[in-house]
Structure 1
Amino acid sequence: MNRLIIIGNGFDLAHGLKTSYHDFILYYLKDNIIKAFNEGVKKSYNQPYRSLYHHRHDMLEVSISVEYDIYQSIELISKTSKIKDFVELTDKRGISFNYIFKILEIGVHKFSKYNWVDFEIEYFKELASIKTKGGYDIDKNIEELNVHFDNFKALLESYLKAQQGLLKTTFDRKLLCDCFCEDILDIDVDLETIASQPPKRLLFLNFNYTNILEPYVKECRKRIHSDINYIHGSVNDENNPPIFGFGDEFNKKYKEFEDEGNNELFKHIKSFGYLKTNNYSDLTRFLEIDKFQVQIYGHSCGLSDRTMFKEIFEHVNCLSVKLFYHLKEDGSDDYTDKTYELYRHFSDKNSMRKKIVDKQKSRAMPQPIQTISNV
């Protein structure tokens, strides 16, 4: 048997990278306030009093009044670490936002519940809404939405590349590598009778765009044949650009797109991004060559990747799905929430119950241990 190891954003976060949806949005909002301030200072001699500080980006427009000490306001805002505190402080300090990209506004107000998958789903909802409403300007509205989404993707790629460059810490990789390379246990497989055995081969299916996983794969290669598949692209490889969009072809509204003559509807559908590289075909070949167990680390398993996940989890060769859940500081964990998400990817619920390893046989993902800081 082989092992497919799914790696999500929680893996990068565990290594100290600020790559969550929350991190990026907070950075973007702060950055635009600073730009509004800098541009306002330069143009202050011809600006009305109330709109002295003003900046317009492709997705957001920022205006700052001068009722408060602006220097002090900027300093206070720059120190906020939560979007909730940021929003409250900017409201008090006379800073207003006009969201040109409306999905961004929704994401700011739902920040406490949002992950990247939720933003992708929100994009699809807006796309479907425009199509449903129709009207003479439907093509224009779809194209405009996609332009904003392109701008968002470009900013995200630049941000992730910068965050990756800021990480100067090394980690002890043994605990995680021990999990990656551990035996496939007979008690973890209900669909067939097997003897506990080490996996013959590992494939790391990396949904992250950074290279933080690379040292782990190199370490695992010393024990087991191991490969890495940057299924959603990488910020480090121009031949494998990041894929960001919607990936649930089983969605009822998505099926309606196929009857439309507007190709803009498919511009940010992941399946078409997969066709630009051999990553997806490499994954398919791995699924076909032998029976396999799936391990999941730091991935939400949300609906935005349902097309791929259904193919993996419902594959006849998939015998076991093992969650390495996130254990929170308060002692709670996300094991049950993850099973809710996995449930949505299975048409055969009986198969799901047999494949997912129960919590008593699962465990929390080991947290990386810092060894040396090069800062």
Structure 2
Amino acid sequence: MRRKLFVIGTGFDKSHGLDTLYQDFYEYLKSEYSEADEYNIVVPDATIDHHGNEIFDKNEVVGYLLNLINRSEDQYWSSFESTLGKLDFSNEFEELPECYDRDGDRNLFHEAYNNEDLAVKLSKCVPKIKELFSEWIKTIDISKAVPKKEFIEMVDEESDKFLSFNYTLTLEEVYNIKNVYHIHGVIGEELLIGHTSAPLFENGQDGKYIGSEHGLEMIHNILRKDIEGALKKNIDFFEDLGENIHDIYVYGFSCGKEDEEYLRQIIEKTAKSDVTWYFLERENLSKKENILKNLGYKGKVKSYHIKGTD
């Protein structure tokens, strides 16, 4: 029996009529927080409640985050996750006043303190983008998704395996599939989202704005996608691929650079099998084949068709 592995990405949900693109997240923020000013460049301040907890005005936070991300993104937020690794805070730091001592000389110590204070404020506000993302995911209504006949006919629920990069339960609730591994988490759990960029500061080097390094590095680390941790958590899934998988179907998964390590693991674990990878007809087959070849794959790459994915 030729067992199959299905690699499921955002395009799968989208082809089922679900609003799961990053652009949909952007539209959700603007709609849900209608009082948010996306032209706001002021870093929100927290207030302290009677329990001593810091409380932020969500509209202020959303407005600031929209402005921050839009500086490095297109109107569709198509590179949202990678953008989280290259956020530009230069406007905020340049707005800080220069400090001078009594002799009229620049007081770099005070300026470093101000930089540090601003970085701390940013480190409390910016990571809330992850909370907002989880909040949005919970609003996605999969009850309107209609099963696709061709996909049903392809699937063997007993023997096939499913690696999903989606946070929704579309496979489980629309197709009644149980054997699904959600590598980035699922609704109701902590979601794995973020960039895969290198550390901001290597070997203790100073940044452009002295004093800000610790706070900015904290933001960078919080927004980093822990791929190594995800692989370790799901090691049994990858180890079990072995010689059992012969056909790999990719449905709605972009094979982006951020997720290459997952592809590499699949290729390595199935290297001894006579494996063929399949991509939807509308995909750029030669581009996907080059990605796989660069990761060490030496087998065949073919296309397949499912109605309604054109």
Counterpart residue number, 1:169? 144
Where structure 2 has 5 or more consecutive residues not aligned to the other structure, the ranges are: 38-56, 91-110, 206-213
Displacement of 1:208 in angstroms is 0.8
Per-residue Cα deviation, 1:258-289 (whole angstroms, up to 9, x for no partner) = 856977454323225527x83x2132222235
Paired residue type of 1:57: E
Counterpart residue number, 1:16? 17
Counterpart residue number, 2:28? 27
Counterpart residue number, 1:153? 130
Counterpart residue number, 2:300? 355
1:105 aligns with 2:71: yes
Displacement of 1:55 in angstroms is 8.6
**Which of 198, 206, 209 is the matching residue for 2:167?**
209
8 Å Cα contact 2:146/2:174 also seen in 1: no
8 Å Cα contact 1:7/1:207 also seen in 2: yes
Displacement of 1:341 in angstroms is 5.0
Paired residue type of 2:244: D
Displacement of 1:141 in angstroms is 7.7
Displacement of 1:106 in angstroms is 2.6
1:312 aligns with 2:260: no
Counterpart residue number, 1:364? 305
8 Å Cα contact 2:147/2:174 also seen in 1: no
Per-residue Cα deviation, 1:300-334 (whole angstroms, up to 9, x for no partner) = 11111122122213441462211024xxxxxxx3x
Following the alignment from structure 1 to structure 2, what is the Cα–Cα distance between the partners of residues 301 and 339? 13
Paired residue type of 1:163: I
Change (3 A) 1:111 1:100: closer
Following the alignment from structure 2 to structure 1, what is the Cα–Cα distance between the partners of residues 288 and 125? 28
Change (3 A) 1:55 1:207: closer
Per-residue Cα deviation, 1:159-192 (whole angstroms, up to 9, x for no partner) = 111123xx433634532121234xxxxxxxxxxx
For the residue of structure 2 that corresponds to 1:6, the secondary structure is strand
Cα RMSD after superposing both structures: 3.8
Aligned residues: 253
Change (3 A) 1:55 1:176: closer
> Given the two structures, how large is their TM-score scaled by the length of structure 1?
0.56
For the residue of structure 2 that corresponds to 1:322, the secondary structure is strand
Paired residue type of 1:367: G
Displacement of 1:214 in angstroms is 0.6
Per-residue Cα deviation, 1:56-115 (whole angstroms, up to 9, x for no partner) = 522425xxxxxxxxxxxxxxxxxxxxxxxxxxxxxxxxxxxxx576224333xx124x43
Change (3 A) 1:59 1:162: closer
> Given the two structures, how large is their TM-score scaled by the length of structure 2?
0.66
Following the alignment from structure 2 to structure 1, what is the Cα–Cα distance between the partners of residues 118 and 290? 35
**Which of 154, 164, 167 is the matching residue for 1:179?**
154
Following the alignment from structure 1 to structure 2, what is the Cα–Cα distance between the partners of residues 303 and 146? 26
8 Å Cα contact 2:68/2:87 also seen in 1: no
8 Å Cα contact 1:290/1:317 also seen in 2: no
Following the alignment from structure 2 to structure 1, what is the Cα–Cα distance between the partners of residues 131 and 278? 34
* Between structures 1 and 2, the one with greater helix share: 1
Change (3 A) 1:271 1:212: same
**Which of 157, 181, 186 is the matching residue for 1:229?**
181
Alignment of 1:54-203 (within 5 A): 56-61=59-64, 102-107=68-73, 110-112=74-76, 114-115=77-78, 118-126=79-87, 147-164=124-141, 167-169=142-144, 171-181=146-156, 201-203=159-161
Following the alignment from structure 2 to structure 1, what is the Cα–Cα distance between the partners of residues 123 and 183? 22
